[in-house]
Structure 1
Amino acid sequence: MTLKKTFPKILWLIISSSIFFIILYFALFYYTKKAEKQVYNNSVEQFENEVNKLLEVNSKPILVAINNDTNWDEFVSFIKTKDAHWYNETIGNELNIYEADYLGAYDADKKFIIRTPTPKIKTLDFIPQQEMDLLDKKGINRFYMKIPEGFVEVTGAAIHPSNDPLKNKTPTSGYFFAVRLMDQQFLKNLEKLTSSEIQLMDSNQILPGEKNKIHSLFDLKDSEGRFVGALLFKRNFDVYFENTTNLLYVIIVAFFINLLVNLIYTRRLVYYPLDLVRRALETGNRKAIRELKKTTGEFSYIGNLFEENSNQKIELINAKIKAEESDRLKSSFLANLSHEIRTPMNAINGFTELIINTDVNETEKLEYLNVIEKSGKNLVSIIDDLIEMSKIDSNQIIPNYATVNLESCVNELYETIKITIKNKAIDFKLIKSNKPAEFNIITDDIKLKQVIINLLTNAIKFTDQGEVTFGYEIDEANELINFTVRDTGLGIDEDHHKNIFDRFKRVDSDISVKVGGLGLGLAISKAYVELLGGTISLSSKVGEGSVFYFSIPLKYAKVEHIVVKQVNTIETNKSEEQVILIAEDDNINFLLFQKMMQNTNFKIIRAINGREAVDICLNNPNIDLVLMDIKMPLMDGFEALEQILPMRPTLPIIAQTAYSSSDDKLKIEEAGFTDYITKPLNRERLFELIDKYLYKEKRHET
């Protein structure tokens, strides 16, 4: 009887326990599916937001560039004059800046004027008129369309004068479009940017139901908002729940084992993991998630799921912070750039207007002209830094190694800089090395000098009084040359040390604002040092000054003997007056040369292009010196030099160029030019070169 009474109870216990575990199973199944759906939806939403944000970032440089160009008075003038030469020299060279495959301009009547394509796009004129009608209202717009070459992304803007930045006060002067072909290279770059697979579709399709992937569909719409295609983004989604259907068998077996062995295990195998799940769901407790991952069975998968979800949220937050920081830096840099350019331009325009429109005496006029000259040099320095940083970013800078006398190099820098700071109360010293370089070294002396000049300029800029020193030491054991630049200036707060070499970042202070600059000098220096295979660092305290250290590899150029060959003097029949040929196509630049030389006895001859310069040199033996512009129509300065040198090997030919980077200067020297002078022209430098080469033979003869 007892057994009979007990058996139904045991049977009922088994049945009730089974029902309980079945209910538990479905509860777990429900929570698992719910968590799976939540994570999947969160992943899809995050992926879509990330794709949209990255597409916006990808197109932002074009929007900034096209907005700048279409708010340009010279562009407005071009629409009226349709001067193809101006367009090709300015806008037509900006394909790399826009990272575009096609640039096109239209006049106010929406008629095609000119285009600049890459070989990828053959179609001549394909911009719809309704897009230009839309630009009359919006000012700037981006849309997509399909041309014979494929899908293209088109960014267009209405052209207005610079005094109408809102593009709504004056009638539209014309239209300008930048086009990118969405070819395989475009998609490949976009895949790299978004870390996903991309498929270009030309019709509305239902998203494929791939088990282990998440999708985002970005519609491509034309200027009227109509669907023309779509970009399908796919990314792996590695959270699986395939074992969920097998959980019932595990639970049933576990039930009988727990029932027969020890009911205490119920707490450890069921209650505790469920409590971890609850805590993870309610509070996102990371400790609970870690413990959940350590459990067995489906709970471990749930732990992985929660951890993946948590990591994705953190990544999303970090991506958002990074994007906001990037936008802030870009906005700060653009504002700083605008300020730094407008400051010297304001001085140039303001003092020029005073000289022209007011009655000033000679003393005031000289003072104003000195301000204009200084502002012009500041403006050129800003532009040079921007160009150099752009070349560094695009990997166009390579070291040009040569044999360098290190001791002469640092002495030359010391003497040059010492002259420029004679009006400052600074004790400027060159610290002699205890062990100078035993032989000449192999390095890029131009980039080495630029690094030292940047660091010294920075030290002098932030030191009103005190001491600035620099020098080097040879480390034979580690095969390094260690340079040190030390100052007793303001110093740098330790919080800023980690960002001091980042581009576009300056230490915010009253002195920084006063001395100006874009904050590119130290970034360029760091890039050059690393290009030479070295490292750079600093040590600084506020109020005590700063010390910058950098090292480059020590490579000796050991030579036994240098043979200097004698140069044979060539007798030439010189005319009574010295004849200078100026090859310059720009009338204003030629006028500047004339004004600079108007009080001399030189006879000036002009060539307006490279071909004419060659003819004059070959047909006129009385030419004593040539000032050759690098960029000219019909034939540039390099081509003209190649034709003149074989016939007139002793004729001094000085390049005049607007290019100022070290690589451009090296290219000019390697081409065979006697020397070079950069624009803007410096009168003292011009006459120094003329005196050096025009009277070279005369001094040799005497």
Structure 2
Amino acid sequence: MKVKKTFPKILWLIFSSSIFFILLYFALLYYTKKAEKQVYNSTLEQFDNEIHKLLQVNSKPILVAINNDTNWDEFVNFTKTKDTLWYNQTINNELDIYEADYLGAYDANKNFIIRTPTNSIKTVDFIPKKEMELLDTMGINKFYMKIPEGLVEVTGATIHASDDPLKNKTPVAGYFFVVRLMDATFIKNLEELTSSKILLIDNDVTPPHKKHKIISLYTLKDNNNQFIGKLVFERNFQVYFENAINLLYLIIAAFIINLIVNLIYTRKLVYYPLDLVRRALESGNRKAIKELKKTSGEFSYIGNLFEENSNQKLELIKAKIKAEEGDRLKSSFLANLSHEIRTPMNAINGFTELILNTKISETEKMEYLNVIEKSGKNLVGIIDDLIEMSKIDSNQLTPNLTAINLDGLVNELYETVKVTIQNKDIDFKLIKSKSQAKFNIVTDDIKLKQVIINLLTNAIKFTEQGSVSFGFEIDEDQQLIHFTVKDTGLGIDEENHKNIFDRFKRVDSDISIKVGGLGLGLAISKAYIDLLGGSITLESTVGEGSTFYFSIPLQYSVAEHITVKSINNVDVIKSASETILIAEDDNINFLLFQKMMQHKNFKIIRAINGQEAVDICLNTPNIDLVLMDIKMPIMTGFEALEQIRPIRPNLPIIAQTAYSSSDDKIKIEEAGFNGYITKPLNRDTLFELINKYLYKENQNEI
């Protein structure tokens, strides 16, 4: 079958449309530039005329006043009598009329008679004789000159009798000059008059053109008509766009027409066949396949392929469902992994570093090894559980039942958790069971431990002060083991009870930041309890606390009790030299910092949230360095840094974070931290940063 090529037609349509609009664009650009140039030249010419007229208006009051005064008989007599009393009583009073900085009079022999002094111009006799000779023929003249006080505008006129208004019949009786200093005040008044920005320059170079600005130049010349300076008037230039906008409307209209044509053409050759392909892919519609075969070009060939391969549709659907299920399971696995794995890894790496690189007693070594052993087992269990969580979604999870000593398991969990909260104001209690298990019980100990740890962790983190207790009771009648985890903490609003066990959901509050992860703890716990054949319930009141109850089946296995080793309590280090503030809400992480630094001569202060870190930094001036956790309740590390920096700009603040992506590192650096360290903590990196910012590079490790 000969295939008709439709794709080149579509390409040609797109190409022709593009050429059309490109040509329109350049036409618009050319027209706009041309119109802009015309408007600019016209505006510039208008501005230049306006400036020169305004300058004439500015000089006219002086010309009128000086013309009146110099055609005054009493002024003629003054040039002969040189009566300074008359001058001071008459001419000096007209200084404000002239708005001048200097008034000076000369006699017919061009000799200086008197001046009107001001604070601006103190030079006495500076009018050139040649200017007076020029006035003999011109009668009145304005020019510019430089004096010690700066550039001045000089207006001069010959003194004549009142019966000689044209100043060309009688001999010259004298000369009178009005001078204005072109200082900042003069320029400012001129700017207000001309509505322009003015620049006074002393060279004949034309200033460069500025975008959206127009300028007018006014040359200043002396009495010999020589260049002495230049006034540059500058004003904003507004471009006239109406014609360009009208042309744009035409382009938009042309584009719409072209789009309609393209849509009609595309619908016939592309959209309708593609819709048939969609219907065939979604449901295997035979009518759609039949119509697709009747189309032209490649789509007709595709219709033949659908008809020939219709038997493979079910396999494709199954493969699609399987791939989607795999993606969902993988996403769930990665989310759970991020939520659960960091805390035990931090303990393992941190306490291993302490054992390898610090001098510790055998008792401490055994204590650390116990923590590492339990964290390692917990980590393996968590990884198994995360894999099994994915299996739960696909109904592939089965419990790993073993015989355990229930009393020993509970005591072990109590001792382990007690170590992590010794610095917190919580009364942590183990409720003694009224009825003991007769023998070891059969259950999945990894899952049971994880359920209890998850519930205790939530209880402790949501309890700032008060009590946390847990325990169990054996119910021989119903063949159940009832567990209870109770706290006097934040409590949970009743409307959130129905969602508390849903994955990826948690109660939103400042303190909920402490929970960490993605809110999977209670969801995982419920999944494990369901798997073990049990049930879990919740009782909680906001402000009073929460109690979780869960039960699992009681099944005995005759075996010896398992002994459990306890974990020693960890003492807070007390050393005094450089003071380091550790802002860390997690007790295990803070304990690791303490153990890493216990052989260093540091004084350690702890803040359990961002607000407390800010308060300590602002109220304790002897703090030398801060290790700031990024994710904390009440106020994050970023928010705390913003409040500390303006008050303590030189205080070294190092971020400590479980985030390790490149984007997170960039965010930390841009926020203004001096440095950062990621979890799990590395001892060498920690001390390198501390030494660097405490200027103790040569400090030897103990």
Query: Structure 1 length normalisation: TM-score?
Result: 0.34
Based on CA coordinates, which of the two structures has the bigger radius of gyration?
2
